[in-house]
Structure 1
C-alpha cells in the first residue's frame, strides 16, 4: 500500500511540474521541485525495496519449510526403519506426501502475494467506483423543445438554496424571474457565487431547496442532456481539442455548414487569422498550434454562435482579449443575444451597462437588482463597485 501511495505521489508531482514548467522556470522553483521529487522518490525506493524483498522472501521460505519436512521424514523414518517398526517404502510414501502437500501450498503463497499487490493497487479504483452514482434519468420525458416547439427562454429561480457541503450553504435564498430574450448580468466580488448560479442553472449540481424552471418546466423533471441542449456556453477557461478548426467550432452540433462556421468566425473577427493558417479551416489544432489565449477565446465564442441555443451563458467571456477585440466581440455578442435569454458574468462593468437586469451578488445572496441606471441612482454596492473601476487616480 505504501508503495502504491508513493508511486502516486511521484507520478502526480512529475505531471504537475511538467504541466506548469513555465511557472517553475519563471519563479526559479527548480531546486524546490527537485527536492520534493527526491523526497517522494526516496519514499518510493524505501517502500518499493521493502515490499519486493518481503514478496521475494515468500517462495524461498515456502521451499525451506518443504525441505525441512523432507529432513524430518528422513531422520524420523530412518530411526523407525532401523528399529524395524516401518519399512523403507513408508519413508518413500511420506516423501511423496510432502511433495504433494507443499507444492500447492507454495503456489497458493505465490498467488496470495500477487493478490496483496493487486489489492493495494485496486484500493484507489474501488474508492472511485464507490462514489455515489448520478440518479438514473432514463424515465424522465424530454419536455424542453419537444414536439417541435422551440424553447422561448423564460427562466425562473424560486427560493434556490445550495451548498457544496450540506451544512455549509453558500446560496441561501435566491429568487429571480427572467423573461425570454432578456440580458441578465450577474456581478459581484470574487467568490460571491456567480459561477455557482450558472452551474445550478445548467444542472451540473443539484440544488438543496427551491426550484429552477425553463419555460415553466422544472429542470429537475427532465433529463440533464435536455437541459444542456438549451444552452450555449462560453467560459473563462477555453477548451480546444485536437482536431481541425472546423471540427472545433462545429463541436457536437450535427448538420453545420461551412458557411455557418465561416460566418461565426467573421462575426468574432477570427476569419482573417484562420485563413492565414497553412490549411485554413482544415488546420489541425494540437500542442504545436500557436493559438493565443485570446484567439482560443474567440474560437469558443464562435462555437457558441454555431450551437445556436435559445439560452446563452457568458462567464467572463472576454477576459483574455484586448480592448479593441473586446469591442468587436461585444458587437458579435449583441448580434448573438438578440432574441435569446442571456446570462453574462462580468468583472468589467463597462460590458454590461445595456443589460435588462443586473443581479448584484455578495456572499451567495442577491443584495441588489435593477438596471445600470437604477443601481447607480441607488448609490449602493453596485455604484461603489462601478465607481471604483472608473475613478481616476489622484
Structure 2
C-alpha cells in the first residue's frame, strides 16, 4: 500500500514495538468465546517477533471510564492469545510506569507482552499529552493494527503515532488495502448495497456513496422510507415518514451525479413480526394498511442479481430484510450468495462490513467468499461516509 507506512518499511530487530491491537473480545466466565480479533492480529505479532523485535501490545477492554476495574482487565485474554500464538505471552498489570517498564525490560527479543487496559487511565480517551509521553517512553516503534479503533483520536490510536516512527500492522494494511480498492481507486462500475433499519443513521453514508458509486441498491427498513417518499403506501412497515423530503433529495442528488438508485419492485409482507408469520409477496404498490414489509421479493432479487453481472466492485453494508427471522432472510441470503459466487469466480471485488452485515453474511454462508469482510463497525462506516479517520491519517507517508 503506497500511501501508508507498513511493517515492510520498519526495522524491527531488537526494537521495543508498541502495537495497538483490538482485544475487546467477547468473554463468558473468564473465557474468550470468539477469537476472531485475536486471529486477526497474529500475522503482525509474528512479523515482529520473527524479526527479533519485542511485541508489546496495547489494547482496551470494555468501558472502564478512566478507572481501574478488575472486571475489565485484559489478563483473562492472555491465555487465549498465547494458545493461538503457540508461545508464552507475558502480562503487565499497568500500561505505563514501572510495572510496564519492568515487564518490557524482562521480555526477551521475540517475546510478546500484553499491557493492561489502556482505558484504566483517563488520559487514553482524552489523548492527553502527558499520557502519550508515558506510553511513548516504553517503545522505539509504534504499530497500529486496530482499524476498528482508528476512528478514535485516543492516545494509543493516534497520539503515539506522532511520537514514534509509526506503521500499519498486517490487519490494518489489509483493511486499508481493501477499502482503497473498493472506494478510493475501484474498478468500475461500482455497486453499493446499503440496508438496515433507518435512513437517519446513514444520511452521510448515502450522501458520500451517491458521489462515488455507479449503482446504489437500498434495502431493509431504509427502502421503506424511499418507497413512501415516492407516494407509495408502506402500511405498518418500519418507516421514517418525516425523512421523505430527505429521501427525495438523495434521489435527486444521485440522479444529478449519474448514480442509479435501485429500490425494491416487490416485497414480502406480513401482519406480525415473527418467524414463519403468514406472509405474501406483492408489488410495492399493493401493500395493505395492516401489513408490514419484512423483506425484498423474488423479482427484486433477480433485478439485483442482474445488476451484479454488470459491475466490477461491490461494497455492502446492511441486510435487505429481517434476516434474523425465517423466511424473511431470503433476499439477504440470495443476493449475498450471488455476490460470493461472482467474487469466487473472479468477476468481482467485494468488500462488506459494519453492524449486522457480518452476521447477515455469515448467516448466508457467504462471508468467506467475499474479498474482504470488515469487523470494524464504526470505523468501517465512517470510512464509507468519507470521513478522515485519525488513526489512519497518522500512518500516511
Q: Do the structures match in fold with TM over 0.5?
A: no
**Taking structure 1 as the reference length, what is the TM-score of the superposition?**
0.27
Larger radius of gyration: 1
**Taking structure 2 as the reference length, what is the TM-score of the superposition?**
0.26
